[in-house]
């Protein structure tokens, strides 16, 4: 845990210091290890990694360390507007999948919000979110352009088992509480598509960013 004053760090370090005190062993950042399997750092472990990497003043040698350093370099506070619109999760903590670089505005805002609220982040760099990862992680939040979300739903249908397909999809989407639709997107079409796949009836569809966050 950091021994320095919290004011010396950015919003990420301040958030990690808080959660490392309150829930030190709770999983925070999931990422793929050397063998391709997912590992995770708790809030306390992520804070220790951030402190260690920052103290040595060397470039991060792994993707999760680079992700943390990229977030720590940001000095903007987490979006209060985003927090008001999303509210609190139905139960437990939020889970969000991060695929893009942290210099993408939408990605940075969501990552800082996730750290601030104590959400878990599943980090999988890539051009888009894959349906297999959605099915495994069962996130509470999905953020992507409308066309990508539509394609994601189509991919989820394609990987569904033949037997009990509707129940399988419903279970994979059971925790989903919000779709953050980036740019121009047919939210009504996405809402109908999500409902047909078995997403919760109270699913939120929000334009993101719908304003200056």
- State pLDDT tens for residues 158-211: 999 999 999 999 999 999 999 999 876 678 889 999 999 999 999 999 888 644
Token pair, residue 8, equals 């010396």
Chain-wide mean pLDDT for the chain? 88
Q: How confident is the model at residue 79 (pLDDT cuts 50, 70, 90)?
A: confident
Give per-residue pLDDT as tens, 56-75: 655 556 889 989 999 998 88
- pTM attached to this predicted model: 0.89
Model confidence at 17: pLDDT above 80: yes
Name 21's Cβ contacts closer than 8 Å, sequence gap at least 6. 1
Fold of 77-213: Rossmann fold (3.40.50)
Q: How confident is the model at residue 8 (pLDDT cuts 50, 70, 90)?
A: low
User: Which residue did the predictor score with more confidence, 122 or 207?
Assistant: 122
- What is the bridge-based pairing of β-strands 27-32 and 38-42? antiparallel
H or E, element range at 55: helix 43-56
Break the chain into its structural domains and give their ranges: 1-27+42-75, 77-213
* pLDDT for residue 57: 56
H or E, element range at 94: none
From residue 212, give the alpha-carbon distance in Å to each of 11, 46, 52.
Answer: 19, 29, 34
* pLDDT for residue 193: 93
């Amino acid at each position: 845990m950091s021994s320095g004053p919290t004011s010396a760090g950015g919003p990420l370090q301040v958030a990690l210091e808080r959660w490392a005190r309150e829930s030190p062993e709770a999983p925070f950042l999931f990422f793929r290890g050397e063998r391709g399997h997912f590992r995770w750092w708790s809030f306390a472990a992520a804070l220790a990694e951030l402190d260690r990497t920052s103290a040595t003043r060397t470039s991060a040698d792994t993707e999760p360390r680079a992700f943390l350093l990229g977030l720590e370099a940001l000095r903007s506070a987490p979006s209060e507007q985003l927090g008001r619109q999303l509210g609190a999760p139905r139960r437990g903590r939020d889970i969000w999948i991060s695929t893009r670089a942290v210099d993408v505005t939408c990605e940075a805002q969501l990552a800082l919000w996730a750290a601030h609220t104590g959400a878990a982040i599943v980090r999988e760099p890539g051009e888009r979110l894959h349906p297999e990862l959605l099915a495994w992680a069962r996130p509470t939040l999905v953020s992507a352009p409308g066309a990508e979300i539509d394609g994601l739903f189509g991919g989820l249908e394609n990987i569904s088992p033949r037997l009990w397909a509707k129940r399988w999809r419903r279970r994979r989407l059971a925790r989903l509480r919000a779709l953050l639709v980036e740019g121009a997107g047919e939210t009504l079409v996405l809402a109908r598509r999500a409902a047909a796949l078995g997403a919760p009836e109270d699913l939120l569809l929000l334009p993101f960013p719908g304003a200056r966050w």
